[in-house]
Amino acid sequence: MSLLIHHPDNKLALALRKAKPKSALQAIERANANLRAMAGEALAYLDGLLGELDVAFEACGAHPTDEQVLAMYKLVVRMIGIGTVAGIPALDIAARSLCDVIDGMATRNRFDRNPIKVHIDSMRLLRRSEENGISADALLAGLAAVRDRYAVTIATTPAAKP
């Protein structure tokens, strides 16, 4: 009895050998073009998330439950990165800032609607910044001041010398 061993062609290796190599710059340019093509879809997704955030914020009232605060936080986290894809990277910065504010409030077990409302309103302005001529830098500077007031800061101490 004889044994016949068959080795199929490695189609992936063949395709890779035939492909034209791309430089890192070409790959980045192609990736950016793909992201630009997704900008409209990203804007629609952002609009939906902002609408959901409005509903979640209004549902919180003056004394939200931990679950309501967590739900709002999760919505904001989902926004991070989408602003850049949509061509509005300042929205990502605002979303991260709002996460810091919500986290700081949750850590201190104190809820204040005002800094959250300021962030949501600013995010809506940033979403339409090209249409209304709003300076993203000025808005982000204001949000940074709010974030610094409410966010938790971790104090670091120098390590003790042995």
Closest CA to 95 of 111, 83, 86, 87: 83
With contact defined as beta carbons under 8 Å apart, do 144 and 93 qualify?
A: no
Segments making up each domain of the chain, as ranges: 30-150
Query: What distance in Å separates the CA atoms of residue 53 and residue 50, rounded to the nearest whole number?
Result: 5
Q: Chain-centre distance of CA 45, in angstroms?
A: 12
pTM for this model (two decimals): 0.77
> Model confidence over 116-132: pLDDT tens digits?
999 999 999 999 887 77
Average pLDDT over residues 58-82: 94
Q: What is the pLDDT of residues 93-150, one digit of tens each?
A: 999 999 999 999 999 999 999 999 999 999 999 998 877 778 899 999 999 999 999 9
- CA atoms lying within 13 Å on the CB side of residue 57: 20
Q: Report the distance separating Cα 105 and Cα 75, nearest Å.
A: 16
* Res 129: pLDDT: 81
The rounded distance, in Å, linking the Cα atoms of 116 and 147 is 10
Assign domain 30-150 to a CATH class: mainly alpha
Q: Give residue 155's pLDDT band: very low, low, confident or very high (50, 70, 90).
A: low
